[in-house]
Structure 1
């Protein structure tokens, strides 16, 4: 909505319970340029009205006289719906302007004459029929112009509902032409410079046909019956790609003109040779538009009316002014009247007719000066800021908990990963000698407690694990829904973690976006198998617990029954990674509440250690475990961090210098020095 509003200059209402559209308004100098413009309005109920606004300022520009009954100089009932209006030199032997009125069944040309002095404020008009054409088909739009390049005369073209063009040379019917690729009536304009017609076909393609070619094509059909069924090929085409609401033509200079097209979401300005001059993409829906040229510079101006009753004035693609309109018009025009030029004329679909102009009213409100007499206490202000910051943090925390509680009451989410492995058809080359390449299924059950929209379910695992079909989307969720996928290994490496994160996002009935997460563990048997424990490994960590030792067969029940050698007294087991062969040994203490994990590969201990801690916490239903590492293990971890940092530095050097990666770079030298292999 604009901050400014149009200023009313003249306003009236056309009849009662009548209907109008964008072809019902015409602003033109019907009685010659000396009498300025008049407003011609034709309704679908068959009433023709001509207005001559005489509003002017009184009392030194403070008030306006507005509408007077004498401004209506003609009101006549034609008894047939008026669907289009136009003015031109339509009568043979006369250079006066005549009014052409199109109804669905006929085309009538009227002679409108003024009674009395043209300068009199109480003028009246007389309407006389010059001639009439009965249409062979139902008419839709009317286009006029000097077809064929004639001088001092205007011809008429009626576009019918079935796509037939009926051409009339004033009182005489000449020929007809059927448009191809035609479904509904579209805007049809005549370009006098090229003597051509421009229209839009049903494929949203702008087409141009020269009048001479249309006339010759009709004559050829009469002479050669074999030409029947063929169509005329257009002189040029331009694919707009959207429906067209209206088309206007503006003469910029003696050698340049512009074809302005109003689409549903765009404004196009074309030259007469089909080349695009510019285009403007709208972020609103346009209702109607009007173009005019500012003389003597030949600047093209475009006025568009939006669905929010806003008038937008463009110079090219630049928005020069915007103003709020009093109602939603179906037609907009611009005219020069007796006491004011450049008046914007608006017509609504119910008959509200207004002449307005762009202007602003000064605001009488003046903000009072700010009082700065009170001294500012910085210490008090600092304490107040700290207090309010704590209040905001507390409020944000409560809002977060409230949001989570609300989301939990809107949908139920259950994640289940099957402990049973299946043969994996993907990446079969990863199969090892003793084990087949396997996968496990993961299922997410969604139970909505209220209708939800745009529900999205995503799965996330850590490399080298891979999840197939990691994204599911449900447009509307009103009943139970099950989203499934499979997880398997994608490379011969040690996984960083066996955790699977399921994220569910949705939009509730109030438009609020919610995000919920659930976590689950991939079965250990997917990546490792039971094996005899090893002793004397180079890397080890210790897990302490405040509770008594739990048997390893209870912590890892999925391996019970497999042919493997457990340690003595079942207090030690080994887990061997299927794809790397690395063994991680787990031993429980005999006299202390400790578990020892050891392996030759420090990275392999992480996933098994996290599994052990998670299972201990689940067994005791509370967290009681702590992980202890030695100084040597921390040195190994720091060495890996240094190697990673050196590798990143080398990548950065190669990226910005473009040099090849040599065998003696810093990262490799560091690894050789510390005996590390990544």
Structure 2
């Protein structure tokens, strides 16, 4: 079968690490376009819904490969998608809508196109029309005109326990428990006789009429039928004798129909009376199936095997076989712009392709290039000799030719060049920074130039900084920049908007644009603001409460004036020599806070002291960054233990947790009030005879997400995890299992963990290599810290693991 290949001319990989099944693929004219072209809809178990238009920009005579604008819509529905289907699900219109089945709800969406909104054409949007909550875990979905209704489609959801829930568009109809059902299985609706063909747990098929299901009675306390009500009995039953993979319905000529059942070893065609029409045995394992009727009323069955083979049967006769590029989990037939009846295949890991059947082989033959003529053999030989030298040098030393690699990389990646000019002072201002006249700090100016090597459009230039640093203007836009053209110099003014420390002085220059191929791109470059934006030189700090010491390498002579060169242009009245530097900040109360940095050549260390631990931490981070930029190594870091405000820190944690508990109580009260208000609204709408009450502007989402972010449980889990990683190889200690993040009832455990972590840091246990004594010390402290917070009845048999961890040590160790 080397010649018989399925010709895949359109395809792409949908997402990374996403999973799909047979119910994840749907083909329909979901946007109700006048041309009637089918769209391909896929929904992953990760909750991503995608809508494609195959060969959207092609014509009737050409087959175009996948392009970016073939993706019409992509939405994250925040819940796994079990089934996607199309139909007329809205009573007010006969247009085609989309039904999406989630584990606990059924949603109906309307997808429409707005012409001329986007530059490349129409813009597609998805609107939620209505949704139904499901009380059991759903499995699959059936669409049909139940009860022989005309111009409308109803919905039937099968749950994992075999329960069938029926929905008449916006309204819930009823739920039925069928006998002999343990697990959900494939199900199909037959519109000719208004019946459902279901597969039971004993590997048989049963046919139930819709009217019988509607009038039968269920016992609400159990899954058994009441003896007083009418029992749901099937019209016919047929033993299959093997697990069923898929069921498909086909309408034949003269008001006859059949059901095609795909088993693990056989294919069955069953007539409307429950009699087997024909049976086909397989010597392979089938994966998926698709059936349709030709214009000559021939039954065509497409079956994909695990060997990546597509087999086409006319009734029970094999007519064609072709190789597929992968094993499809779902197969559909679509009418695209250039090829009617194209096959759409979806793999389990998300590869989607459109193919057709053909006999032309895939022959990848390298053409013999006989037109290459070498005119000068001497120059070619010399060039070959030089290239061999470069190759040999690279093999001997991989760093021998870094310029060639970096140059090639830059040439390949650079579409826009960002040039950041020097940061200089604009003017001193007390109004802009809300400072007093004596503490007035600067406004800085940053000039940015853009140069494009290709033609780009929709250019947006912005500067990103950390709060409380502010930038004006926020965004600068350019309609287009021609190839090899430089945009005008853009000036950004940077200043402080509040009196507290930013995270760092780093700022990013970000450029977003659309290149000549129509693809959106992002380019960025970063730099650092001068320290003079926050501080200035001041007199020395006396009687400091906090002190930090760095030990640097012996060969480096630290000159603090060169290290903090961006402070020299503020004022030099208080500057001494390069061994000492006095820096003045302003805290939240606008009171000046001083930091003294001292470098001693005799001991080769840098000492930092201050009365504010916040300002000291900021200067320490800046010092580390500046030392690393000059390739200076520091071997040991020490901090005075008594200067740490542990008591105040732990009180803040307790206060924060108490506030969260109070917010939770208020949240419950607000939820109760909102539910009461919702009940009143529903009663009022019933009085007004409104069948579609709208939600209160997503109030439930706001209540769920507001005030629900905390860090106490994350810190506690991180500390426990790190301690566990340190002592996991040591046996003989009780353990404590923390499987999920929940709001702690109190802060006793967090206090003990943080205190134990700080004790081990100062004891030097975590900063040295693992030893037995270190591990034993950690075991004793960890065991004591946790056992104080665990009740006696919970240890040790009800508690699986009791380990203590520490994330603070990892950060200090990396420093």
TM-score scaled by structure 1?
0.51
SS class of match (1:202) = coil
Say which is worse superposed, 203-212 or 226-235, in terms of deviation: 226-235
Once the two structures are superposed, the pairs formed by residues 665-676 of structure 1 within 5 Å of their partners are none
After superposition, the Cα gap between the structure-2 partners of 1:113 and 1:282, relative to the gap in structure 1 and judged at 3 Å, is: same
Give the match for residue 272 of structure 1: 272
After superposition, the Cα gap between the structure-2 partners of 1:121 and 1:281, relative to the gap in structure 1 and judged at 3 Å, is: farther
Cα contact 1:221–1:228 (8 A) shared by 2: no
Give the match for residue 249 of structure 1: 249
Cα contact 2:195–2:209 (8 A) shared by 1: yes
Once the two structures are superposed, the pairs formed by residues 416-431 of structure 1 within 5 Å of their partners are none
After superposition, the Cα gap between the structure-2 partners of 1:214 and 1:220, relative to the gap in structure 1 and judged at 3 Å, is: farther
1:121: Cα distance to partner?
A: 7.7
Cα contact 2:218–2:225 (8 A) shared by 1: no
SS class of match (2:23) = coil
1:122 & 1:69 partners in 2: Cα distance?
Answer: 13
1:122 & 1:53 partners in 2: Cα distance?
Answer: 15
SS class of match (1:218) = coil
Once the two structures are superposed, the pairs formed by residues 49-448 of structure 1 within 5 Å of their partners are 49-54=50-55, 64-116=63-115, 122-218=121-217, 227=227, 231-295=231-295, 297-361=296-360
After superposition, the Cα gap between the structure-2 partners of 1:144 and 1:364, relative to the gap in structure 1 and judged at 3 Å, is: closer
1:433-461 Cα deviation digits (max 9, x unpaired): xxxxxxxxxxxxxxxxxxxxxxxxxxxxx
2:137 & 2:193 partners in 1: Cα distance?
Answer: 28
Cα contact 1:331–1:347 (8 A) shared by 2: yes
1:218: Cα distance to partner?
A: 3.1
Give the match for residue 37 of structure 1: 38
After superposition, the Cα gap between the structure-2 partners of 1:174 and 1:59, relative to the gap in structure 1 and judged at 3 Å, is: closer
1:630-670 Cα deviation digits (max 9, x unpaired): xxxxxxxxxxxxxxxxxxxxxxxxxxxxxxxxxxxxxxxxx
SS class of match (1:116) = strand
1:288: Cα distance to partner?
A: 0.2
Size of the aligned set, in residue pairs, is 361
1:312 & 1:117 partners in 2: Cα distance?
Answer: 43
1:59 & 1:52 partners in 2: Cα distance?
Answer: 14
1:316 & 1:364 partners in 2: Cα distance?
Answer: 33
Cα contact 1:29–1:36 (8 A) shared by 2: yes
1:340: Cα distance to partner?
A: 1.1
SS class of match (1:35) = coil
Cα contact 1:9–1:55 (8 A) shared by 2: no
Gaps of 5+ in 2: 365-815
After superposition, the Cα gap between the structure-2 partners of 1:207 and 1:121, relative to the gap in structure 1 and judged at 3 Å, is: farther
SS class of match (2:22) = coil
1:309 & 1:21 partners in 2: Cα distance?
Answer: 16
Cα contact 1:46–1:79 (8 A) shared by 2: yes
Higher relative contact order (CA 8 A, sep 6+): 1
Give the match for residue 442 of structure 1: none
1:363: Cα distance to partner?
A: 9.3
SS class of match (2:340) = coil
2:183 & 2:299 partners in 1: Cα distance?
Answer: 30
2:54 & 2:60 partners in 1: Cα distance?
Answer: 19
More strand by share: 1
After superposition, the Cα gap between the structure-2 partners of 1:55 and 1:360, relative to the gap in structure 1 and judged at 3 Å, is: farther
Once the two structures are superposed, the pairs formed by residues 19-34 of structure 1 within 5 Å of their partners are 19-32=19-32, 34=35
1:593-620 Cα deviation digits (max 9, x unpaired): xxxxxxxxxxxxxxxxxxxxxxxxxxxx
The structure whose Rg is larger is 1
2:234 & 2:303 partners in 1: Cα distance?
Answer: 30
1:151: Cα distance to partner?
A: 1.1
2:251 & 2:139 partners in 1: Cα distance?
Answer: 26
Give the match for residue 368 of structure 1: none
Give the match for residue 459 of structure 1: none
1:2 & 1:344 partners in 2: Cα distance?
Answer: 20
Cα contact 1:86–1:100 (8 A) shared by 2: yes
TM-score scaled by structure 2?
0.42
1:437-494 Cα deviation digits (max 9, x unpaired): xxxxxxxxxxxxxxxxxxxxxxxxxxxxxxxxxxxxxxxxxxxxxxxxxxxxxxxxxx
After superposition, the Cα gap between the structure-2 partners of 1:57 and 1:322, relative to the gap in structure 1 and judged at 3 Å, is: farther
1:53-89 Cα deviation digits (max 9, x unpaired): 116879986xx43001110001000000000011111
After superposition, the Cα gap between the structure-2 partners of 1:364 and 1:151, relative to the gap in structure 1 and judged at 3 Å, is: closer
Cα contact 1:220–1:227 (8 A) shared by 2: no
Report the aligned-residue RMSD. Answer: 2.8
2:265 & 2:154 partners in 1: Cα distance?
Answer: 33
Give the match for residue 565 of structure 1: none
After superposition, the Cα gap between the structure-2 partners of 1:5 and 1:177, relative to the gap in structure 1 and judged at 3 Å, is: same
Once the two structures are superposed, the pairs formed by residues 515-526 of structure 1 within 5 Å of their partners are none
1:360: Cα distance to partner?
A: 1.7
After superposition, the Cα gap between the structure-2 partners of 1:364 and 1:348, relative to the gap in structure 1 and judged at 3 Å, is: closer
After superposition, the Cα gap between the structure-2 partners of 1:280 and 1:87, relative to the gap in structure 1 and judged at 3 Å, is: same
1:338 & 1:359 partners in 2: Cα distance?
Answer: 19
Cα contact 1:2–1:322 (8 A) shared by 2: no
2:333 & 2:326 partners in 1: Cα distance?
Answer: 17
1:364 & 1:330 partners in 2: Cα distance?
Answer: 27
1:179: Cα distance to partner?
A: 1.6
Gaps of 5+ in 1: 366-678
1:82-129 Cα deviation digits (max 9, x unpaired): 0001111111121011100000010000011112179x9843321001
2:145 & 2:225 partners in 1: Cα distance?
Answer: 30
1:324-348 Cα deviation digits (max 9, x unpaired): 0111111111111011111111101
1:163: Cα distance to partner?
A: 1.2
Give the match for residue 438 of structure 1: none
1:30: Cα distance to partner?
A: 1.9
SS class of match (1:212) = helix
2:30 & 2:123 partners in 1: Cα distance?
Answer: 13
1:2: Cα distance to partner?
A: 5.9
1:404-427 Cα deviation digits (max 9, x unpaired): xxxxxxxxxxxxxxxxxxxxxxxx
